[in-house]
Structure 1
Amino acid sequence: MNRFSGKTVGFSLFKTVVLILFTLLLSFTVQAQIRHLIFFGDSLSDSGNNFWVKSGGPHQGAPITNRSATGERRIWTEYFTRIFEDSRQGGQARSLQVSSKAIHPGIHLNYAWASAETGRHYLSDNSGKPYFPSRDNECRQPGLFADSRGEVQPCVPSVGLQVQQFIQQHGKDPEYIKSSLVVMLAGGNDILNNLGKLLSENRLKILLTQGLSHPIDNTLLNIKVLHRAGVPYSNMLVLGLPDFSLIPAIHKLVNNNASALSMLSQISSAYNRWLQFRLWWETLFSDQAITFYNPTSFLNDLAVNGSYETIDGASLEFSQGLIPCHQKPEEPERPGCDQHIFYNLKHPSSQAHRAFADDLWRHLLRQKPLAAKLSS
C-alpha cells in the first residue's frame, strides 16, 4: 500500500467536510436575511384595510389615530417599517402596503384588519351588538358585500384567515417566506367580545351559537400554520397585550372601580406570561425560538414619565398622559392629540404609535439572533 494513500484519503475527507460546512454556512447566511415585513392583527395594526370602521373620533376607517404633524394618520406598523428601512444599507426604501390594495409582490405587507379576532372567522363590526358576531356563512372574502336584502355587510377576516390569505399568495415562494419577519399583535378584541357575550341578557343562546374565543390557543394555531408553510420560528415576532387597567375604555367599562382595575391588571399580566410560556413550549425541541415582546413596561413608563426619547434622539412629549384626545364619536378633530397617549378610548395617538415602534425596535436589537438577521 502507498504510504501516502491514508493521508490523501484523510485530506480529501477533510476538504469535503470543510466544503459542506462552508456551503451550509453560506446557505444559512442567505436565508437569515430579513428583507420583508408581514403584519397580522386588528385595529392597533391596521394601516388601511378596514376603510369603514367607526373609530370613536373624527375619522372613519383605519388607521385609527390622529393626524400627525405631516397631516398623515400613521400607526406603529408604518413607523416600524420606516425604522427597518432606515436601518438597511443601500437600496430603495419601500413603504408598507395593505393587503387589500397591494398591487405587486416583494414589498412589506399588512394583513391586519380593524375589528379582527385571533381565530378563523369572518366578523361583522356594524351589528350594533356588544360583540362582533361571526358571518362565516355569508362571507367569502374580506371587505364589504351586499346580502340577499341588498344591504351592505362587512366581512372582517380574523387573524387565522389573514394567515391563510398570506399563504395562498406567497406559499409557493419559499425565498419570500424565509426572508420575511412575521409580526402578530391581536387578542384584545377576543377578550372584549367575550365580555360582551357573557354580559348579554341572552348569553346562553349567544354562547351556543357564537361560542367564546380562545386567543392564546388561536395564536399558537396560527404560529403552527405559518411554520408548516415554511416560516422559521426565528422569523416570528409575537406581541403581548398592554396592561388593561391603563386603557380608557376599560376605565369606562368598570366605572373606574379600583378593585376591578387591579384585577384586570393582574389578568393582563397573567395573559402575557401564559402566552410567552406557550410560545416557549412550542419551540422547546427546536433550535429556533419565537421572539416575544411584552408592551406592559413601555406603556407604564410612558404613563409615569410623560415623555419618550427615540433611538435617533427625538424627544416625544405626552403632557396629557392617559386622557384620551377624543371621547365621543364623530366629533371635530382636535389639535394637539399627539400630547395624549390615547387618540380615543382604545387606540393610541400617532405619536404614541411612533414611540411604541421605536421601543419594539430597541427590543429586537437586544435579541441577538434576530438582530443579526435584521442587520444583514
Structure 2
Amino acid sequence: MKTNFVAAGFITLSMMLPLKASAANFTGLYVFGDSLADTGNIFNFTSNVLQPPTPTPPSPPYFQGRFSNNLIWVDYLGEKLGLQPTLASNILLNNAAPTQGINFATGGANSGFGNAIAPNAPLPGVLEQVTGFIQGNGNIVDPNALYAVVGGANDYLFPKVPSNPNQPKPYNNIFQSVDSLVKAGAKNIVVFNLPDLGVLPGSTIPGRNPQLLTQETQEFNTNLAKDLATIRQNPNIKLTEVDVYSLFNSWRKSPEKFGFTNVTDACLRFTSSTTYITCNNPQEYLFWDSIHPSSQAHKLIADAVFVPEPSVTMGMLGLGAVVTLGLFQRQSRKSTSATK
C-alpha cells in the first residue's frame, strides 16, 4: 500500500446548517464517509493489518487516527448527542460491541466503491459502507437512529486514470447511499454537499486544475440537491442537507467572525515523507493540512448542528452481522497475505 495515505482523503470543511431542537432520544449514530468523518478506521487498518505497519495518518502530527490536529465533528457532535459510535475496525479487530452506533467512515473512501488513493486495499467506499451495513442487518435499519453521509470529494481530488464515463457520478453514489438508507427504514438523515474544491490549499498541486475542481464541485452540489428532491418531499423523513459550499465561502469571506486568522494556507506541511513543520496557532487556521480542516473548524461544525428530534417509529437497533465488517475481514486477510 502506498504510504502517502496521509494525503488521503476526503476533504473537509464546513459548517452544518442550524436545525431546530435537540436529539436526546436517538438510539444510535451511524456515520458513512471518508476522512472528514473517519475517527480511526484507516489508522487501525494500517497499524494492525498491513505488514509492515504504516500507521496512517501518522500520530503525531495527526491526532489519534483523525485527519486533524485534535477531535473532529463526529466527536464533538457525539458529545452533544450523548452518543459515541464504535469504529467498524474496532468491531472487526477487537470484537468491540457497538452500543451507540457505528462509524464506517474511512479516509480515502470513494463515493461509491473502493478507495481513491489505495485502490487495491480492503477499504470500502461510501456506498459500499452503506450497502454492507444494510445487508448485514437483513435490509432493515433502526428508524430511531441518526445517519450521516459524507463523501464525493475524493473522486475529484484523486480521479481514476483512465476515467470510465460509464461509471455512476459521485453525486449519484451519495444519493444512492441516502436513498438506500431511506428504503431500509432510516428516518433521520444528515447529508453533506461539497465545499469549493478549487480553493483548497491542495488544489494547486501538479496534476490538479483549480478551475476544473470548482466546476466539478458545482456540478456535484447542483445534481445532488436535485436528486434529493424526492426524499425531501417525504413527510416521514427528516433530511438535513448541509450546504457546505455556501457556509465554507462565508468562512473565507469573514474569517474573523469564526476566530480564524488564516483561511488560505495549511498549518501542517510535510517537507518529506517523514518530516514536517506546523504553524504555532493551528486553531486559528481553517486548514490543518492541504485538504482537511483544523479541529477548531470541526468544532464549529458540531456547534452549528442542531439535529431535529428523532422521527420515532417502532424499530430495532440493528447490530447484526454487518456485511461491511465481513468485507473488511476477508480482504484484510488477502492484504496481510499479499504484504508479508
Output the CA distance in 2 between the equivalents of 1:55 and 1:41. Answer: 16
Larger gyration radius, structure 1 or structure 2: 1
* More off after superposition, 221-230 vs 241-250: 221-230
Output the CA distance in 2 between the equivalents of 1:281 and 1:168. Answer: 23
Which residue in 1 is equivalent to 2:332?
Answer: none
TM-superposed CA distance for 1:288, in Å, is 3.5
Structure 1 residue 237 and structure 2 residue 190: aligned? yes
- Aligned counterpart in structure 2 of residue 347 of structure 1, from 292, 302, 327: 292
Aligned length: 271
Which residue in 2 is equivalent to 1:327?
Answer: 269
**Structure 1 residues 212 and 99: alpha-carbon distance in aligned structure 2, compared to 1, 3 A threshold:** same
Output the CA distance in 1 between the equivalents of 2:109 and 2:303. Answer: 25
Which of structures 1 and 2 has the larger relative contact order (alpha carbons within 8 angstroms, sep 6+)?
2
Which residue in 2 is equivalent to 1:25?
Answer: none
Which residue in 2 is equivalent to 1:222?
Answer: 177
Which residue in 2 is equivalent to 1:186?
Answer: 151
Given that 2:268 and 2:276 are in contact with CA atoms closer than 8 Å, whether structure 1 keeps it comes out as no
TM-superposed CA distance for 1:178, in Å, is 0.8
* 1:54-108 deviation digits (Å, cap 9, x = unpaired): 4498349831111xxxxxx3111111111223xxxxxxxx433212114223313
- Aligned counterpart in structure 1 of residue 32 of structure 2, from 37, 40, 43: 40
* 1:34-62 deviation digits (Å, cap 9, x = unpaired): 23211100011100000136449834983
Amino acid at match of 2:295: S
Alignment partner of 1:100: what SS? helix
Amino acid at match of 1:65: S
- Aligned counterpart in structure 1 of residue 283 of structure 2, from 338, 341, 349: 338
Which residue in 1 is equivalent to 2:310?
Answer: 373
**Structure 1 residues 107 and 244: alpha-carbon distance in aligned structure 2, compared to 1, 3 A threshold:** same
Output the CA distance in 1 between the equivalents of 2:199 and 2:191. Answer: 21
Which residue in 1 is equivalent to 2:5?
Answer: none
Q: Provide the TM-score with structure 2 as the length reference.
A: 0.69
Map 1:158-307 to 2 at 5 A.
158-171=125-138, 177-194=142-159, 197=161, 203=162, 207=164, 212=167, 214-232=169-187, 235-253=188-206, 261-262=210-211, 264-282=213-231, 284=233, 287-288=236-237, 290-307=239-256
Map 1:82-97 to 2 at 5 A.
82-85=79-82, 94-97=83-86
Given that 1:303 and 1:321 are in contact with CA atoms closer than 8 Å, whether structure 2 keeps it comes out as yes
- Aligned counterpart in structure 2 of residue 114 of structure 1, from 107, 114, 139: 107
Output the CA distance in 2 between the equivalents of 1:295 and 1:158. Answer: 21
Output the CA distance in 1 between the equivalents of 2:235 and 2:277. Answer: 50
TM-superposed CA distance for 1:281, in Å, is 3.0
Output the CA distance in 2 between the equivalents of 1:64 and 1:275. Answer: 25
Identity %: 25
Residue ranges of structure 1 left out of the alignment (5+ in a row) = 1-31, 67-72, 86-93, 126-131, 136-153, 198-202, 310-316, 365-370
Output the CA distance in 2 between the equivalents of 1:113 and 1:308. Answer: 31
Output the CA distance in 1 between the equivalents of 2:227 and 2:180. Answer: 15
Output the CA distance in 2 between the equivalents of 1:117 and 1:45. Answer: 13
- Aligned counterpart in structure 2 of residue 63 of structure 1, from 66, 72, 79: 66
Alignment partner of 1:345: what SS? coil
Which residue in 2 is equivalent to 1:70?
Answer: none
Output the CA distance in 2 between the equivalents of 1:278 and 1:261. Answer: 26
Alignment partner of 1:156: what SS? coil
* 1:307-327 deviation digits (Å, cap 9, x = unpaired): 456xxxxxxx22222210112
- Give the structure with the higher percent helix: 1
Output the CA distance in 1 between the equivalents of 2:207 and 2:131. Answer: 36
Which residue in 2 is equivalent to 1:88?
Answer: none
Given that 1:280 and 1:289 are in contact with CA atoms closer than 8 Å, whether structure 2 keeps it comes out as no
Residue ranges of structure 2 left out of the alignment (5+ in a row) = 1-23, 47-54, 313-340
